[in-house]
Amino acid sequence: MNDDSIPLIVEPADLEKRLTSESIMVIDLCKPEIYAQGHVPGAVHLDYGQIVATRPPVMGLVPNPAQLSTLFSAIGLTPEHHVVAYDDEGGGRACRLLWTLEIIGHRNYSLLNGGIQAWIAEQRPLTSEIRLRPASKYHVTFTASGAVSKDYVRNSLGKSGIVLVDARTPAEYRGERRLSARAGHIPGAVNFDWVNAIDQKNHLRLKPAAELRSALAAIGVTADKEVIAYCQTHHRSAHTFIVLKSLGFPRIAGYPGSWSEWGNSTDTPVE
């Protein structure tokens, strides 16, 4: 089976057939205790805290290239690997890893649809054995695509060809729940709570593509526009980024500082 054929959203049955392939690296971003209890055979564990950086009060930033180079080298990742990521929460942490790979130009990656819940529900094999891969020399450089800054977002406000998607809860979006110095949302942003893309009745898989496209189109999020996703720390909105990518949206980006930066700044407008 040709690993180049792995879809962006890969089903458990499909991944199981490919587990013996040396060109695939499965990365587990579950809680450590869940990984220890049982994980996809061969999966390497990453702690979510290793793939984000903080400058309080701003959270969810991108670690610098040297930090990511050290991290990815330590787990044995190479540019040739096709990464399949999963977690135990519906894909948020896994998608943040995949978005990070996107912005460093590592485009061979997939999300395990439904994560460990779907894997277990289908009685796929589990192991508690920890596989250590030989260290590699992964050199990280950032590309120009996939991430935008506060200034870019501010300069995008009011432009008809750009839509901001706020992936937080409606209460956060409306300013009823405040997690930063200021409450509310970026002016003009539309609200699409990231959990609305997850099918709670199908082991946390993504909802069908047609259903997702319809829900997004209803709030003005269409593939002809440039779409910028954000939440509080670009954790939930990283999931939204991967959802949009899976639907074929050609111009998408994540705002890593998200509301923890915007809402704690004194020079940004709030709605």
Residue pLDDT tens, the chain, 271 long: 335 589 999 999 999 999 999 999 999 999 999 999 999 999 999 999 999 999 999 999 999 999 999 999 999 999 999 999 999 999 999 999 999 999 999 999 999 999 999 999 999 999 999 988 999 999 999 987 899 999 999 999 999 999 999 999 999 999 999 999 999 999 999 999 999 999 999 999 999 999 999 999 999 999 999 999 999 999 999 999 999 999 999 999 999 999 999 999 999 999 9
Tell the CATH superfamily of the 3-121 domain: Rhodanese-like domain (3.40.250.10)
Q: Per-residue pLDDT tens for 191-220? A: 999 999 999 999 999 999 999 999 999 999
Q: What is the dihedral of CA 179, 180, 184, 189, to 10 degrees?
A: -100
- The reported pTM is 0.97
Find residue 162's DSSP bridge partners: 226
**What residue has token string 């054995």?**
129
Domains 3-121 and 150-262 are alike in CATH topology: yes
231 carries an active-site annotation: yes
Angstrom distance (rounded) from CA 179 to CA 268: 16
Contact 62, 100 (CB under 8 A): yes
pLDDT value of position 170: 98
pLDDT value of position 3: 53
Q: Which amino acid is at 153?
A: V
Crossing angle of the two packed helices 236-246 and 92-103, in degrees rounded to 10: 70
Q: Residues 6, 84, 116, 231: which is the catalytic one?
A: 231
Where are the chain's structural domains? 3-121, 150-262
Query: Is it true that domain 150-262 has CATH number 3.40.50.150?
Result: no
Contact 60, 100 (CB under 8 A): no
pLDDT value of position 264: 98
